[in-house]
Chains A and B, each alone.
Chain A
């Protein structure tokens, strides 16, 4: 589904990703962990198409297409979804209208008719129940005045509405209390199936108490330095990132 080959990327002339390789198949859940500044969010931004990140080397193929050549909106239409680490507040744009526009733009891209008001509301109600989001959030402006937890739940709700093939969850656990974390994780688990894939980007292991990744990768200094199973996350939880750093730095000497 997603094939990342030797990606190098920089922002404002500073090299952040220094050669990343990663392959994700349908039905898989991957987690990328790493200390602050290792390049986790840069990787998410590069995949979603943020313009200030420049890819200097390497390639990314998504469902057989060159992802890096696509506009951010077309990446979304092709089935890529980024749950933002910091969802943006947009006063004056209602959440419902925004999601309706997003759903219908995707349908248009696929050559489908737009959903009418009745079917859209039906879909919305169903997905609201699935990810436990309240109607009152959706009648407000996008993320305006939402708590940290509400913003993250709104991200998962949008994921439920757009049914992506690959969802990237960028630090979705940050700023959540235990209850909100559980609700968000439940939502993700319900949305998971054999045809889609999920890439979790996180600093801490705690989200992984609720989600069961098939693979865990450790990102450090712009490279994946170790890959393994869920046990690797537990190892990080116990020992912190220092043993990884020490190992990498020792090898470099």
Chain B
């Protein structure tokens, strides 16, 4: 059982073995925050429909050292690499720790810097770390987020240099080694995209073995002026894999972000996708697709915070829920007093394929400026019976007709996955999912 006493004990051990740096101070504050707020419960509005308390009742293998006995080899993870990996910078985490020996950096060091977070915090990038690491804590004040920050260890710092169009995409793999014990991991990354740089990122999660895994991961992304980021999060884990996955993007300069979250499987999955539009004229596009079955629970919390004027954001999340699966979409748009001429749009569409599937969808608009355009809309429905009959009347059997319509429903999100290799791969996963009832 992981309770406060347990975490305090681990915390003291971890602090003792780390030299003083911006990280140790941040950890200390966050442990206090964790102590104050505890783990989120359904009494908290942000966690009303997602319960993670029981995940903490299990006995996890919680080593903070990089023990060699884990023996996750490159060969063991080969089958889980994303397509195009031979051309990618691969950043590999095992049980929440960045493992340089399993990672491959293909871009020259003048373009891309990849460092263990602790090293970055004491070296050249000390000021960047000091300024940006932990910024998400001002937005996410719950205990589970504080817990990650209190235990920042063996994370990664990534910098894409000024003006660089990174030709090798960045692939982030999070492996949980649950072959022998249940495992709890807390990966942490800070990505710093300098002026005019341009990058494609993909993040994916895999659990080895059949014991339970629980990943509480945080990625913070800082995007400077005139930079552009594409970000793809692919979640297709097994039912024994649970996660809270936070992506906190801060646009400190006028910039462009395009993020797509695809969730096809897992136990309990909570995604926080935040974009802070902190520079006038910035643009953000957020997309999500969740296709769920069995008992899977997926909660997508998004936040678009318009701090500065003239920003545009567009958000489209779509879901297909079958069996006893449950989903949550909570889309918050905040427009701060300075942020005049904001354009912010949000849509969430859902198809329920079973009487037992549940979706809770909630737009949340907080507008403190008077000259803005904001809209939101959500739908929950079944497959269109007229369309289904039309296809069947042309000789397409019912199950194939349903698959065609669900594929079509997914298409506008899939189309937002711009790299062709990733799109084809995800298309394949979707097709497998939509046809798995035939087996």
Contacts and interface: CB of A to CB of B under 8 A. Distances in A.
Contacts of A84: 390, 393
A158 B394 contact: yes
Contact of A50 (B387, B389, B391, B398): B389
Residue of B394, B395, B398, B407 with highest tally of chain A CB at under 10 A: B395
A91 B395 contact: no
B391 A98 contact: yes
Given A72-B389, A88-B387, A101-B400, A93 B405 contact: yes
Interface string A65-85: 000000111011100001010
Given A49-B393, A90-B390, A73 B398 contact: yes
Contact of B396 (A51, A82, A91, A105): A105
Nearest to B395: A76
A29 interface: no
Nearest to A88: B390
A106 interface: yes
Interface in A86-103: 87-88, 90-93, 98-99, 101-102
A158 B392 CA distance: 13
A243 interface: no
Interface residues of A, number: 29
A48 B388 CA distance: 13
Interface stretch (B177-185, B216-224, B296-304, B408-416): B408-416
A133 to B, nearest CB: 16
Contacts of A87: 390
A71 B398 contact: yes
A188 interface: no
Given A71-B398, A101-B400, A76 B408 contact: no
Given A92-B407, A101-B400, A162 B393 contact: no
A216 B18 CA distance: 93
B408 A90 contact: yes
Given A50-B389, A88-B386, A102 B394 contact: yes
Contacts of B401: 73
A98 B394 contact: yes
B404 A73 contact: no
B395 A77 contact: yes
B123 interface: no
Interface string B364-392: 00000000000000000000101101111
A82 B400 contact: no
A81 to B, nearest CB: 8
Contacts of A162: 394-395
Contact of B395 (A50, A51, A105): A105
B223 to A, nearest CB: 32
A87 B394 CA distance: 12
A73 B384 CA distance: 17
A101 B396 contact: yes
Contacts of A142: 390
B397 interface: yes
Contact of A73 (B387, B395, B405, B408): B395
A73 B396 contact: yes
A106 B408 contact: no
B387 A102 contact: no
Given A98-B404, A101-B404, A92 B412 contact: yes
Contact of A91 (B386, B391, B398, B408): B408
A119 to B, nearest CB: 18
Contacts of B393: 48-49, 72-73, 75-76, 82, 84
Contact of A92 (B390, B396, B408): B408
Given A90-B408, A98-B404, A73 B392 contact: yes
Nearest to A103: B395
Nearest to A142: B390
Contacts of B387: 88, 90
Contacts of A93: 404-405, 407-408
Contacts of A73: 392-393, 395-398, 401
B408 A109 contact: no
Interface in A146-202: 158, 162
Contacts of B389: 50-51, 72, 88
Interface in B111-138: none
Contacts of B412: 92
24 contacts: A50-B389, A71-B392, A71-B398, A73-B392, A73-B396, A73-B401, A76-B392, A76-B393, A76-B394, A76-B395, A77-B395, A82-B393, A90-B387, A90-B405, A90-B408, A91-B408, A92-B407, A93-B404, A93-B407, A99-B394, A101-B396, A105-B395, A105-B396, A162-B394
Interface of B: 384, 386-387, 389-398, 400-401, 404-405, 407-409, 411-412
Given A93-B408, A106-B395, A141-B408, 17 more contacts: A50-B389, A51-B389, A71-B398, A73-B392, A76-B393, A84-B390, A88-B384, A90-B391, A90-B405, A91-B408, A92-B407, A92-B408, A92-B409, A105-B395, A105-B396, A105-B397, A109-B395
Closest 3 CB pairs of A and B: A92-B408, A76-B395, A102-B394
